[in-house]
């Protein structure tokens, strides 16, 4: 890779501080895709736990405690639900403003429906 003094942002909205739970929860939701959405591709609870274990280990410099790990799993589970609602609202705005040929309304409905499913699953645990 060639070194450069140039910095480029891909997703500018992620260039600021955010809750770790939202960032990780949204990351897990992104596994479902956009054009060919299939949220069954999102990681299982065990896959999320393993990903978070490695993330926290890198962030802290040592293994997280079970309490730290489970708190982060729970937090990312909640924020997975909230991420779906965030993108549902975003899609509603885009449906009214964007000139891109995309079914924003259908996408908003799908993300809102998935938000409700994930929220109920979170509250049940």
Q: Is the dihedral of CA 68, 30, 83, 118 positive or negative?
A: negative
pTM for this model (two decimals):
0.83
Q: Which of 96, 88, 74 is nearest to 116 (CA)?
A: 88
Query: Which residues are within 8 A (CB) of 49 and not within 5 positions of it... i.e. 6 or more apart?
Result: 69, 73
Task: Give the mean pLDDT of 111-117.
Answer: 97
**SS3 breakdown of the chain: % helix, strand, coil, rounded to 5?**
70, 0, 30
Q: Is the pLDDT of residue 15 over 90?
A: no
CB 31 within 8 A of CB 41: yes
Going by pLDDT thresholds of 50, 70 and 90, the confidence category of residue 125 is: confident
User: In three state form, how does the secondary structure of 76-113 look?
Assistant: HHHHHHHHHHHHHHHHHHHHHHCCCCCCHHHHHHHHHH
Q: Give 28-77 pLDDT, tens digit per residue.
A: 999 999 888 999 999 999 999 999 999 999 988 899 999 999 999 999 99
């Amino acid at each position: 890779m060639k070194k450069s003094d140039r910095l480029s942002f891909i997703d500018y909205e992620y260039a600021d501080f955010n809750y770790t739970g939202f960032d990780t929860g949204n990351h897990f939701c992104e596994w479902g895709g956009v054009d060919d959405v299939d949220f069954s591709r999102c990681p299982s609870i065990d896959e999320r736990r393993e990903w978070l274990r490695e993330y926290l280990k890198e962030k802290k410099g040592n293994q997280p405690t079970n309490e730290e790990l489970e708190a982060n799993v729970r937090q990312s589970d909640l924020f997975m639900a909230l991420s779906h609602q965030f993108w549902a609202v975003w899609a509603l705005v885009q449906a009214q403003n964007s000139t891109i040929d995309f079914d924003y309304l259908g996408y908003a409905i799908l993300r809102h429906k998935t938000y409700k499913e994930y929220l109920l699953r979170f509250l049940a645990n």
